[in-house]
Structure 1
């Protein structure tokens, strides 16, 4: 699936697999050969988009390939949203003939491209081509032709219509983007996270990890911040840096983290004379009681044999 970020025109190509060669061929045949070379391509970090072949194609054509942060589907939200829309539509039409989904794909995509987009206020088809298509409903209901331009003035009127539409769509996208951004930042508290360069942080593990393993990995050191993203690296040597979204980070607290992984022996070795604040004492008492209970359950049962 490929989506124009401005017009929202959607292009879907059924492919047997997602190898780099297949993806590149779909890009060349269905996008570049029909609509021209894009300035930028935003994609996830799949191996087909990070491969040497894809990088060489982008270099030859002068395309800038922007990669989203790992495990953050919202970074390319409009594509992820359209995947759900198209998938739900295919489920509705192909529930009884799932092997024929590719036969229904293009009519569904056409229906989306000719529907009014909530962000732009126009259909993707109109923004891309400057006119409305003749659809099946026009034929059935014998509606008057939507093509009202005179032949001799077609180019001038089409150019004027596209210029007006492009300006209006640009303004609409700017307003909607500001609204969506404000709502997202408020809900996710992205810009209120006090994370700076040099901080120690933990990274939430969003991989398919075993159920009872730790959710947070680290600590890592923050090497740079470009909100809403941050670049982190290993503490030793600061190698293996990666850029992640801040919603996967939290400040590393050595005291709380060590308490979570402490052993019973470590807990019993806490000196009664150690200095603790009033807020810490109840937590320490609860921790000691918990460790004592664990020790009680771990005691071996008495032997069944008795001495005479």
Structure 2
């Protein structure tokens, strides 16, 4: 057992050995409910340079309708990406409510964020080195690559010539999650294809009817299609989550935990097969969600996905890390205490200023009544609140001194303090106690009243 513990806490082994089973958090579920509510954006490439000097593909996908836009680009600068986004999607279908990308500066930098601020679009991004957070567009990147590879065969430098036709074929294909084609989800009908002329299906799609009736039927068909698609998407997401969550390796992290981060970045001159797969240590400073955690080292803070972390169990912890951890835990405790006090103050104020439940019999206000229900008035360590008096004109005790301060263990609990007179009263047992006889036969007189100053730790709690 000692050998296993010694090996498991080895500093070198924890950083240079890959895990037998990777961490795996639960699959999150989120989906939009209307067309072009949330769009996903990514850059595909680099690809072979074509005669039009195109090297990259800007892939834009609507999360609800699965509408796809592919824009060939000569480079992936932020200005070029912003113009292509505006011309291909926003100018045609309007402004989305949310734009989701990865953390690349060309799609998450200052230019794109200023464009989103101008158009009142909410900008979101994935966690670093976790492309599954943008899986909607990553899946279509694979489909586009497959179509280009199958269509071009050997002419790889002509991929941009028929790119729009390939995107049109994807839009005319039924999606297995929604149950409809993207064309039908957006337009309420299927677009005309050459095969429709051969089969004579165009007249069936456009029957002779009044314009108003056609518009009404088109609106009804869109509404029905969207309702069915929402149900299909909900079922598909539920099925996906059940399949994904079968083999979970989830660990719940808390603020103050020391962790190591999976280092997947590649550097020039360093072989990725021989470098340490883990980097750290870090301290968890915030838990944004069960799958997203904010960590910090000596220099910087970053948000990391759960699947890229593991708990650090090194025997020796650096001194700077211990100080940082203690500081974070101290601030967390202070914040929790402040939040608790604020909640209690709000609760007390609500009870205090609600005049509906006042007890008119004994003159107690709701705050005093609610706080004195479960207290024992015979307890000597109770402090008066001085909010109200009882029928004997004595202050009602509403707070337990033990919960406010630390009472010394050697304090004489047989003495009760008259807080209003700032004096010490003997216990009733001491007052009624009979005189005791000394060994030499003499009698000791009755114990008189003793005067003693009130302890200093009670001054702050007495009016």
TM-score, scaled to structure 2: 0.52
**Native 8 Å contact 1:134 1:146 kept in 2:** no
May I ask how many residue pairs the two structures share in their alignment?
Answer: 253
Q: Which runs of 5+ in 2 are unaligned?
A: 1-58, 319-463
Find the counterpart in structure 2 of residue 184 from structure 1.
244
After TM superposition, what 4+ stretches of structure 1 lie above 6 angstroms from structure 2?
none
Q: Which residue of the other structure, out of 177, 180, 186, is the alignment partner of 1:119?
A: 177
Find the counterpart in structure 1 of residue 274 from structure 2.
212
1:222 partner SS: strand
More helix by share: 1
Find the counterpart in structure 2 of residue 79 from structure 1.
137
Q: Which runs of 5+ in 1 are unaligned?
A: 259-308
**Native 8 Å contact 2:252 2:290 kept in 1:** no
Q: How does 1:83-98 map to 2 (within 5 A)?
A: 83-98=141-156
CA distance in 2, matches of 1:223, 1:133: 53
**Native 8 Å contact 1:132 1:146 kept in 2:** no
Find the counterpart in structure 2 of residue 154 from structure 1.
214
2:203 partner SS: coil
Q: Which residue of the other structure, out of 131, 136, 151, is the alignment partner of 2:194?
A: 136
Q: Is 1:103 equivalent to 2:177 in the alignment? A: no
Aligned-residue offset at 1:178: 2.1
CA distance in 2, matches of 1:187, 1:205: 23
Distance 1:146 1:8, change over 3 A: farther
CA distance in 2, matches of 1:51, 1:29: 19
C-alpha offsets along residues 134-161 of structure 1, whole Å, 9 cap, x if unaligned? 1121123334534245242111111111
C-alpha offsets along residues 169-210 of structure 1, whole Å, 9 cap, x if unaligned? 112112211221232233343xx3132222111100111252
C-alpha offsets along residues 244-275 of structure 1, whole Å, 9 cap, x if unaligned? 111111111113999xxxxxxxxxxxxxxxxx
Find the counterpart in structure 1 of residue 448 from structure 2.
none
Q: Is 1:222 equivalent to 2:280 in the alignment? A: no
User: Computing the radius of gyration over CA atoms, which structure comes out larger, 1 or 2?
Assistant: 2
Aligned-residue offset at 1:59: 0.3
C-alpha offsets along residues 78-136 of structure 1, whole Å, 9 cap, x if unaligned? 20010010011101111222221111211111111111101111111101111111112
Distance 1:220 1:100, change over 3 A: same
Find the counterpart in structure 1 of residue 295 from structure 2.
232
- Structure 1 window deviating more from structure 2 (38-47 vs 130-139): it is 130-139
Find the counterpart in structure 2 of residue 255 from structure 1.
315
CA distance in 1, matches of 2:264, 2:203: 53
Find the counterpart in structure 2 of residue 30 from structure 1.
88
TM-score, scaled to structure 1: 0.78
CA distance in 2, matches of 1:223, 1:151: 64
